[in-house]
Amino acid sequence: MTAGKMRAWAVDVPGQMSTHPLALVERDVPEPGTGQVRVRVSVCGVCRTDLHLAEGDLSPRHHLVIPGHEVVGRVDAVGPESTRFNPGDRIGVPWLAHTCGLCRFCRSGRENLCLNPSFTGWDVDGGYAEYVIVNEGYAYPIPDVFSDIEAAPLLCAGIIGFRALRCSGLPPGGRLGIYGFGGSAHLTAQIALAEGARLHVMTRSPAARELALELGASSAGDATDMPPERLDAAILFAPVGTIVPRAMEALDRGGTLAIAGIYLSDIPSLNYDRHLFEERSLRSVTANTRANGAEFLETAARIGINVSTSAYAFDDANAALVDLAQDRVNGAAVLVRPSQ
């Protein structure tokens, strides 16, 4: 590799992971612009959104975009008018890369619904690379209690799960159902349990059911099982629309099902009596605000959240996504770059 160059994984031709849609490319090391910093990447979490991007469920915003939005590393260059971070600071680069600050949603504190946002690893190049650029106002300092590998999944899986938990309207001490139990769900579960919830997990993975029980779930069954009691709230993490009617049927009166993913397969017809009557609600979760992220990281550090990870070498990005697609990752997959 020549001076001033870096290696990165980019989405070449989206398709099933068996076709290895990620290509290893060489790029110029990027330079930070005004209000930006450059991060030398240590680790990058492997999110299901990356899988949807690689397989084409989400259309890449440009050819050879570099995925990855759970990035932890050290600032190694600071752009003009950047004052928030200094070289050597350890920071995290999340999904939300930029918001306009001008639209009605940004002005009302709902920047997750911004009309002109950009996202790391979709609109702008992400962390499946040796370096990444971030607007300093959208990065997070990493709490000291977390290692780099532990911190990576917190930056999307953790934050979006936290927002989904709040959107579910779970009351204090309430009964929460979680459908799918991967990188995001196992973090969200711990927040809910720490806040006094009674948790029921439904997932097709036996290993994930075992992890759920180890973390304190009251029950763990198959993805299509009914929980042993009615639910005050539920969160769907699995991108499987056919689960929605089953989860809605499990809700008690006034309960809400929050769908945490950016992608979901088609939802079958719902029966008004069985699935929606008695003020049961179905809502999506769209991105997050920076305030959500800061609150989640503070909460995660305070309760000592346990992050279950599976480490993959940087060169094994395709293998990590294949394992994720086939539900072979228990917890969260993380790409680890060689020591500097």
Supply the pLDDT for residue 229: 98
Counting residues of the chain whose pLDDT is more than 70, the rounded percentage is: 99
Name the one residue in this structure whose structure tokens are 């689960």: 243
The CA-based angle 98-237-235, given to 5 degrees, is 100
Reading phi first (left if > 0) and then psi (alpha if -120 to 50, else beta), residue 125 is in: beta
Supply the pLDDT for residue 52: 94
Give me the mean pLDDT over the 180-191 stretch. 94
Q: What is the mean pLDDT of the chain?
A: 95
Give me the mean pLDDT over the 155-174 stretch. 97
Supply the pLDDT for residue 296: 97
Give me the mean pLDDT over the 125-134 stretch. 98
Q: Is the pLDDT of residue 301 over 50?
A: yes
Q: Is the pLDDT of residue 283 over 60?
A: yes
Provide φ and ψ at 150, rounded to 5°: -65, -35
Maximum Cα–Cα distance for the chain, whole Å? Answer: 65
165 pLDDT tier (thresholds 50, 70, 90): very high
Using only C-alpha atoms, the chain has a radius of gyration, in whole angstroms, of 20
Structure tokens, 75: 């600032």
DSSP 171-221: PTT-EEEEE--SHHHHHHHHHHHHTT-EEEEE-S-HHHHHHHHHHT-SEEE
Provide φ and ψ at 309, rounded to 5°: -130, 155
> Residue 216: which of 238, 232, 197, 235 has the closest Cα?
197
Collapse the DSSP code of 159 into the 3-class scheme (helix H, G, I; strand E, B; otherwise coil) and give the result. Answer: helix
For the chain, domains (ranges, CATH) are: 5-155+308-336 (3.90.180.10), 159-284 (3.40.50.720)
User: Considering the entire predicted model, what is its pTM?
Assistant: 0.91
Number of Cβ within a 10 Å radius of residue 138: 19
Read off the pLDDT of residues 309-336 as tens digits, 9 standing for 90 and up: 999 999 999 999 999 999 888 778 999 9
Q: Is the pLDDT of residue 340 over 70?
A: no
Give me the mean pLDDT over the 38-54 stretch. 96
Q: What share of the chain is helix, strand, coil (3-state, %, to 5)?
A: 30, 30, 45
Number of Cβ within a 10 Å radius of residue 157: 29
134-137-139-145 Cα dihedral, nearest 10 degrees:
150
Q: Is the pLDDT of residue 339 over 80?
A: no
Supply the pLDDT for residue 1: 39
Read off the pLDDT of residues 90-110 as tens digits, 9 standing for 90 and up: 999 999 999 999 999 999 999
Structure tokens, 164: 């989904």
3 pLDDT tier (thresholds 50, 70, 90): low
Q: How far is CA 69 from CA 25, 120, 175, 260, in A?
A: 18, 5, 31, 16
Collapse the DSSP code of 229 into the 3-class scheme (helix H, G, I; strand E, B; otherwise coil) and give the result. Answer: coil
| Cα–Cα distance, 196 to 259 (Å, whole number) | 22
Structure tokens, 141: 């300092």
